[in-house]
Structure 1
Amino acid sequence: MAKEDLKSEKKKEKTPAKSSAKNQKKQPNKVAKYFKDLRSEFKKVVWPTKKQVINNTTVVLVTILLIGIFVGAFDTIGGWALKMFLNK
């Protein structure tokens, strides 16, 4: 049994050295594969039309304007109410 244990330990010692050498060689392939996958994913993207972009931009700007008016009015009314409360 002792000989078998020694053989298995030697195999375990050799295995990481081989895998680390393989990992070093595979690094450029991983990078190349990443960019190939990235390119294929970009081809799958459905870009919006000009009309959709204009429509979405308009919705966002109108929403921002309405929220700004609401917050400004709330701030003005709150400030006025606070002045009236502190002056009494």
Structure 2
Amino acid sequence: MAEQASSEKKSKPGFFKKMGKSFKDMKGEVKKIVWPSKSSIINNTIVVIVVCLIFGAFIWGLDAVLTGLVRLVLNNA
């Protein structure tokens, strides 16, 4: 009975072995990553900035129109 309990403990991997295996697996996955080139990063950044400016201008215009409508309604009420 005591021998069976000790053999079960030996067959289970320890916490540090599991952590080591996890880090080895992560290292292997990081090696598989295809990083974008500098030019694609610059192009994507420009696209994001332009889209943000367009949406910002749209929201600003919508806000100005709705503010004018609210003032018109409140002044006539």
TM-score band, normalised by shorter chain: 0.7 to 0.9
Q: Find out whether 1:75 has 2:63 as its counterpart.
A: yes
Percent of aligned pairs sharing the same letter: 36
Cα gap change, 1:86/1:18 in structure 2, threshold over 3 Å: closer, same or farther? Answer: farther
Specify which structure has the higher proportion of helix: 1
Length, aligned pairs only: 73
Counterpart position of 1:53: 41
Q: Bigger radius of gyration, 1 or 2?
A: 1
Deviation, 1:27, is: 1.2
Structure 2 stretches lacking a partner, 5+ long: none
TM-score (norm 2): 0.83
Residue type of the alignment partner of 1:80: G
Once residues 27 and 85 of structure 1 are traced to their aligned partners in structure 2, the CA distance between those partners, rounded to angstroms, is 69
Once residues 58 and 32 of structure 1 are traced to their aligned partners in structure 2, the CA distance between those partners, rounded to angstroms, is 41
Residue type of the alignment partner of 2:70: L
Deviation sequence 1:29-66 (CA, Å, 0-9, x none): 10000000000000000000000000000111111110
Counterpart position of 1:66: 54
Deviation, 1:18, is: 5.7
Instruction: Identify which of 17, 31, 34 aligns with 2:22.
Output: 34
Deviation, 1:85, is: 1.1
Deviation, 1:74, is: 0.2
Structure 1's consecutive aligned runs of 4 or more residues displaced over 2 angstroms after TM superposition are none
